[in-house]
Amino acid sequence: MKTLKTFLIFSLFSLAFILFAQPCPCPESNPHPRETIENLRLWRLTEELNLTEEQSAKIFPKWKKLRELREKRREEREKELEKLSELLLKKAKDDEIKKQVNMIKENDKKNREECEKLEEEIFSLLTPIQQAKYLLFHMNFEAKIKGMIKKLKRWKR
């Protein structure tokens, strides 16, 4: 009887140690942090501006398109700058370099104009108070996100 008790206690402790030794069943970290930040931004924007369902239904598709335009331009610009860097490395002619620089500037300008047009469309759906809150929100949100990222980087060290 005593050996059975000892065996059961030993088995329970062993089982407990085995269970605690297992890796955490935590979900994997989000592989798309930008998407998470954008979702957070839209949620906070909806709250801050007190958007109606009707406004949200009209604004969110425009916001998504705006975000896609910016992301697409970022990727294109990266490639264009890479090409510019290659031209400099191979000591290309001034005309070639100037052509690449002008192309980058022109594409930046086109993208800015498209983005401004979309932002104007978004603004047209907001009241003057919501417009003011929209501008302040983006400035404050960016600062908060940057602060959070800095804290996370320090915390990980």
Task: Spell out the domain ranges in the chain.
Answer: 51-125, 127-156
The pLDDT value given to residue 142: 78
The pLDDT value given to residue 10: 58
The pLDDT value given to residue 39: 79
Q: What's the predicted TM-score (pTM) here?
A: 0.65
The pLDDT value given to residue 92: 87
Token digits for 89? Answer: 């490395």
The pLDDT value given to residue 78: 95
The pLDDT value given to residue 116: 95
Single out the residue of 69, 66, 42, 39 nearest to residue 121, CA to CA.
Answer: 66
The pLDDT value given to residue 38: 78
The pLDDT value given to residue 138: 80
The pLDDT value given to residue 13: 56
**Which long-range CB contacts under 8 A does 120-128 form with residues at least 24 apart?**
121/62, 122/59, 122/62, 122/63, 122/66, 125/55, 125/58, 125/59, 126/49, 126/55, 126/59
Give mean pLDDT in consecutive 10-residue pieces for the chain, a chain of 157 residues: 63 58 55 74 86 91 92 95 92 91 96 95 94 88 78 76
The pLDDT value given to residue 114: 96
